Amino acid sequence: MAPSDPVIRLISVDCPLCGGAKHTVYLRTGDFLEGIPGSFTVARCEGCRHRFMNPRPIDEDLAACYPSTYGPHQTAPANDQDLHSNKTNAEELRPWYLRYLPLRRIPGLRTLYYWLMNDDSQPVREPEGSGEALEIGCATGLYLDRLRRLGWNVTGIEPSDAAAQIARSAGLHVQTGTLDSVMVSSNTYDLAAAWMVLEHVPAPRATLMQLHAALRPGGTLMLSVPNAGCWEAFVFGKFWFGWEPPRHLQHFTPLTLRKLLEDCGYSEVRILHQANLSYVVGSLGLRWLAWFPQSRAGHTFKAYPANPTTAGKLLLALPAKILSGLCQAGRITVTAKCRK
């Protein structure tokens, strides 16, 4: 362990969903992505069957689990000036092979491209009137930026001040903190989003209840999480990309997440399996690096989920669509309505 490596202090906890004190060891694994030292345990509750990291980092050490190189905190959205420039119009955002002859004249090519590239990971929609949107764990504000372009009034909350600063530099209203530390108005928002966030929080039930309070009656909650109930987690074992200790504290399945949402006052819960195989690529990289630590291919595969390429997405699109249809995707997107 290098002198600069953070020492993460751990604490044993009961099941974060049902409060049960009885649980068994599901697996032990390490931080293969950011290199935080230690062996980390995923436990399974004997009551509700929820899987969670136990012991987990103490609250004071959660921030130390996210180094400055953490992928989601790097990419910046467009700034306010770019919003009104030709750089952001729809024609410029299309891939080059759809902008120039002769490919753009091939019937159905554009429709096929957008169908293949749509993985249901972060859906957006037009607001009804002047809609108010809240995103927690918004990182550098990429999703808030998409909502803003569609006419939403957006607010973000992000624990990393460095990432929040990037979002603010793009003209987005983003506060540094968490739902516990930032004042959020009740019955205010038409949309609340939490993309790949709920697996990071120590108390997911409390987080969902706070979002429920912030939403107006009938407002929409949208979130995504890794799917610990899919084939990927079984096949790759401790090398599954979705475990990601010590940052991922919760490991949901569609069943455990649906029940949690309904218990927290949400209705019309809809679960979409993302047409996304990035975790498969990343898991292959982690497995390969365990055998051959200096492998360039292994490092390339490991880095893919944070920076997927257009070519890679197109190559994997059809098998990803098939697995999505079979409800066996490594990531799921959930929408639900706020019932009050």
Tokens 């019937």 belong to residue: 107
- 124 or 172: which leads in pLDDT: 172
**String of DSSP letters for 212-224:** HHHEEEEEEEEEE
Distance CA 284, CA 119 (A): 20
Q: How far apart are CA 287 and CA 165, in angstroms?
A: 35
pLDDT digits (tens, 9 = 90+) for 14-46: 999 999 999 999 999 999 999 999 999 999 999
pLDDT given at position 4:
54
Whole-number pLDDT of residue 3: 45
**Calpha distance 32→291 (Å, rounded):** 13
Instruction: State the alpha helices, DSSP H only, in the chain.
Output: 80-83, 90-93, 96-99, 109-117, 142-150, 161-169, 204-214, 231-236, 254-263, 278-291, 296-303, 310-325
- Give the strand pairing for 215-226 and 189-195: parallel
Paired tokens of 280: 């498969």
Radius of gyration of the chain (CA): 20
- pLDDT, residue 140, reads 93
Q: What mean pLDDT comes out for the span 222-245?
A: 97
Report pLDDT for 108. Answer: 77
| Residues 169, 75 contacting (CB under 8 angstroms) | no
At residue 102, the pLDDT reads 60
| Overall average pLDDT of the 82-89 stretch | 44
Which two three-digit tokens encode residue 111? 């429709």
Architecture of the 10-338 domain: 3-Layer(aba) Sandwich (3.40)
Per-residue pLDDT averaged across 93-115, rounded?
Answer: 69
| Nearest residue to 135 via CA among 173, 170, 163, 171 | 173
Beta strand 174-176 pairing with 153-158: parallel
d(CA 202, CA 96): 44
Model's pTM, two decimal places?
0.89
Helix H or strand E segment including 251: strand 250-251
The proportion of the chain whose per-residue pLDDT surpasses 70, expressed as a percent, equals 88
- What the block records as the tokens of 104 is 């753009």
Q: What is the pLDDT of residue 106?
A: 75
- What ranges do the domains of the chain cover? 10-338
Residue 172 phi/psi, 5° resolution?
Answer: -95, 145
Enter the tokens of residue 58.
């103490």
Instruction: Band the pLDDT of 316: cuts 50, 70, 90.
Output: very high
- Which residue would you say has higher pLDDT here, 240 or 76? 240
Phi, psi of 264 (to 5 degrees): -90, 5
State the Cα–Cα distance between residues 87 and 83, nearest whole angstrom: 8
Q: Which of 261, 244, 141 is nearest to 207 (CA)?
A: 261
Q: Residue 98's pLDDT is what? A: 60
- H/E stretch holding 339 reads none
Q: What percent of the chain is predicted at pLDDT more than 90?
A: 78
What is the token pair recorded at 230? 């899919």
Q: Is the pLDDT of residue 74 over 60?
A: no
Under the banding of pLDDT at 50, 70 and 90, the label for residue 84 is: very low
Among the listed residues 204, 215, 326, 190, the one whose alpha carbon sits nearest the alpha carbon of residue 257: 204
Q: What is the mean pLDDT of residues 99-103?
A: 60
Cis before 67? omega within 30:
no
Identify residue 289 by its one-letter amino acid code: L
Burial-class residue 293 by CB neighbours within 10 Å (0-12, 13-18, 19+): exposed
Q: Please determine, for residue 92, whether its predicted confidence score (pLDDT) is greater than 50.
A: no
Model confidence over 291-312: pLDDT tens digits? 999 999 999 999 999 999 989 9
**Rounded CA gap, 190 and 134, in Å?**
8
